[in-house]
Amino acid sequence: MVANSADASVNTTTGDDTVGGNIDQRFATLTSIGDCVNQNELRLLLEKNSAPVCYVWCDPSPCMHITQGISVAMNVNKLIKAGCTVKVLMADWLARMDRKIGGQVGGDLGEMKTVGLYNAEVWKAAGMDLQKVELVWLSDGIIRNADVYWPLTMHIAIVSEVSGIKRWLRFRASKDTRGHGRKDPYSRRDFTAAEMFYPCLQSAGMLLFHEAADMWLLSLDQRGGHMVARQFCNDTGKRNIRPVALFNNVLPNLLESPETEMIDDPSWAIFMEDDEDDITWKMDKAFCPLDLAEVNPCLEYVEHIILPWLGKFEVVREEHDGGNKTFVSMEEFTSDYQSGALHPSDVKHALERSLNMVLQPIRDHFRDNAGAKKLVEAMDKYYSYFR
């Protein structure tokens, strides 16, 4: 059943639904999530700890990229399967610095928490096992440990190089999934003081929880903060607390030439809030080069969202166009596409249907559940800034 696909996708790594497994199985489950800066550190952690605590960093957003909604739901369930104790850290305090979120509510932490609760409700609708996940708020940690957090932030700022901060900010902008990260904003303007300070604030947030967190699950746009934290530990003789992290895959821009589009054009990605008309419009504009699998965003959506979630990718065609075909592996699908057996229009129409199958249970949840409906209505004030 589609509604349980976040759960079902967990079993693709080891072939069973046993929680934990031996070290090799747990390592395979975790590395299937995405990139890890140092896999040796991850393996050593698993050898020493049968139930590591993994913190999942979440930048609250009223408009959730499908990576933040679907991929994170699948990956958190993988963490649970690998025996991890999972805690989602809602970075509500830092969300106030985002001009499209905090700027609209005056930096009110109560509003930030409502956005975070909405994100958690999306994950619930997507099948994340929230009964085994604890929500933690960054603002609570900072308030309780202000005498540690702020000196640590300043220390990180002192030892970090400006060139490195700028490099990671550009990388972050290219991978940002919060509704406005599809092009480099610094090509037309300089860095703001808040943006320059953000990696230091984020790094301090990660290191603030070093005693509680054995590892982290981060989005690629948070890689800069993670690397700043690791470099700080190297420079200050604290290599023993360097954070171990896994990174969610981030899907590429759907547009062939994003630089020619309007700065706030939402057609660059699929969002959890998209309805059927949105999906049709975005698939019509999506770049899907003929016979080319590399640098093809539509194929990456199939690989990282559709196949793991639905377990198959169905192409529906007339008999004279080759007839229907169901793919259960990326290798077979890629081979057919590169050979010309599949036309880009076949793929885009099939991807449109599949994306609607993925998103429909989430739409139904927010339509039929009174509490969920109230949360999504609270997000309405933000949508004009994102979409």
What band does 101 get if pLDDT is binned at 50, 70 and 90? Answer: low
Q: Residue range 336-352: average pLDDT?
A: 94
pLDDT given for residue 181 in this prediction: 42
pLDDT given for residue 344 in this prediction: 95
Does residue 178 contact residue 127 with C-beta atoms inside 8 Å? no
pLDDT exceeds cutoff 90 at 385: no
Residue in this structure with the two tokens 């440990």, named with its chain if needed: 145
Rg, the chain, Cα only: 21
Distance in angstroms (rounded) separating the CA atoms of residues 26 and 378? 39
- What integer best gives the mean pLDDT of the chain? 86
pLDDT exceeds cutoff 50 at 134: yes
From 379, 293, 295, 375, select the one nearest 334 (Cα to Cα): 293
More confident residue, 17 or 76: 76
From 216, 230, 239, 219, select the one nearest 52 (Cα to Cα): 216
pLDDT given for residue 217 in this prediction: 95
Q: The tokens of 218 are what?
A: 């981060």
From 101, 99, 63, select the one nearest 195 (Cα to Cα): 99
Q: Would you say the C-alpha torsion 171, 174, 180, 185 has a positive or negative sign?
A: positive
Q: Residue range 265-290: average pLDDT?
A: 92
User: Mind listing the pLDDT tens digit for each residue in 77-98?
Assistant: 999 999 999 999 999 998 887 7
Does residue 55 contact residue 137 with C-beta atoms inside 8 Å? no
Indicate the pairing of strand 245-248 with strand 34-36: antiparallel
Q: What are phi and psi of 325, to 5 degrees?
A: -150, 140
Q: What are phi and psi of 276, to 5 degrees?
A: -60, -40
pLDDT given for residue 15 in this prediction: 46
In DSSP terms, 247 is beta-bridged to: 35, 218
pLDDT given for residue 166 in this prediction: 80
- Single pTM value for the model: 0.87
pLDDT exceeds cutoff 90 at 345: yes
pLDDT exceeds cutoff 50 at 12: no
What is the DSSP-derived secondary structure letter of residue 271?
B
User: Mind listing the pLDDT tens digit for each residue in 219-275?
Assistant: 887 888 888 888 899 889 888 888 889 998 888 889 887 665 555 678 889 999 999
pLDDT exceeds cutoff 70 at 120: yes
pLDDT given for residue 179 in this prediction: 43
Question: For 305-359, what is the HEC assignment?
Answer: HHHHHHCCEEECCCHHHCCCEEECCHHHHHHHHHHCCCCHHHHHHHHHHHHHHHH
Other CB atoms within 10 Å distance of the CB of residue 387 = 15
Q: Which of 137-146, 168-177, 371-380 has the highest mean pLDDT?
A: 137-146
pLDDT given for residue 240 in this prediction: 84
Distance in angstroms (rounded) separating the CA atoms of residues 289 and 260? 18
What band does 365 get if pLDDT is binned at 50, 70 and 90? Answer: very high
From 150, 127, 44, select the one nearest 309 (Cα to Cα): 127
pLDDT given for residue 319 in this prediction: 82
pLDDT given for residue 207 in this prediction: 93
Does residue 272 contact residue 201 with C-beta atoms inside 8 Å? no
User: Mind listing the pLDDT tens digit for each residue in 355-364?
Assistant: 999 999 999 9
Q: The tokens of 324 are what?
A: 């229907």
Q: Residue range 340-354: average pLDDT?
A: 95
pLDDT exceeds cutoff 90 at 108: no
pLDDT given for residue 195 in this prediction: 80
Does residue 67 contact residue 219 with C-beta atoms inside 8 Å? yes
